[in-house]
Amino acid sequence: MSDSEKPARYARTANGLIASLVVTVLAVTAFVVFRAVTRDNPEIEPEAVDYLETVELVQDAGLEVAYPPTLPEGWKATNVAFTPGDRPAFGLSILTDAGTFVGVRQEDEGLDDLLATYVDEDAAEEDPVDFDSPIATAWESYSDEGGDLAYATELGEDTLLVYGSASEADLRLLLESLTTDPLG
């Protein structure tokens, strides 16, 4: 094979390798930035759930449960949960018209455990408050460093906790609407 028939070779150097790696990284970075700027991130709006259906099932099972018979305009229940058994538990998650959270939790569990689970392990006890509620007039009050509030009372053998990031006025509005009246 003559010299003119040998395949051409380019010079391979460490600088050439580094340059090609830099170009590749810059191209990938430019693509990622382009996708981040031009991508539409859809806002996911949680769907409303019919919590009253679950309340009726719980009541049909012979259990007393605290619930709001209606929600204020613009509020929506986003999750309802019921755990049957020897120690039944009921939970309701609600978004206010301002997009803040309100939760209702009723179960045969100690208040400290509920506060640690749903509010904060270091929830600070505040002064008790009185509400115009058919459930109870005197409620224990708690807060955390993040601005969440919680109100608790006893309902039979259960602890009832109303909590969330919503304003005190919104929590009061929901709390004062709670009832145990049978549906239907």
Domain regions of the chain by residue span: 3-38, 51-177
* Alpha carbons 145 and 142: distance in angstroms, whole number: 11
pLDDT score of 154 more than 90: yes
Tokens (6 digits) for 151: 């109100």
Give 106's contacts (C-beta < 8 A, 6+ positions apart).
Answer: 65, 66, 89, 90, 91, 155, 158, 159, 160, 161
Question: What is the predicted pLDDT for the residue at 177?
Answer: 94
Per-residue pLDDT tens for 32-76?
A: 888 878 877 777 778 889 999 999 999 998 899 999 999 999 999
Question: What is the predicted pLDDT for the residue at 105?
Answer: 95
Give 97's contacts (C-beta < 8 A, 6+ positions apart).
Answer: 72, 73, 74, 75
Tokens (6 digits) for 155: 């309902």
Question: What is the predicted pLDDT for the residue at 22?
Answer: 87
33-47, 103-117, 129-143: least confidently modelled range: 33-47
- Is the CATH number 2.60.40 carried by domain 51-177? no
Could you tell me which residues are beta bridge partners of residue 105? 91, 161
- The rounded radius of gyration (Å) of the Cα atoms in the chain is 29
Question: What is the predicted pLDDT for the residue at 6?
Answer: 66
pLDDT score of 162 more than 90: yes
pTM for the full model? 0.75
State in Å, rounded, how far the first CA of the chain is from the last one. Answer: 98
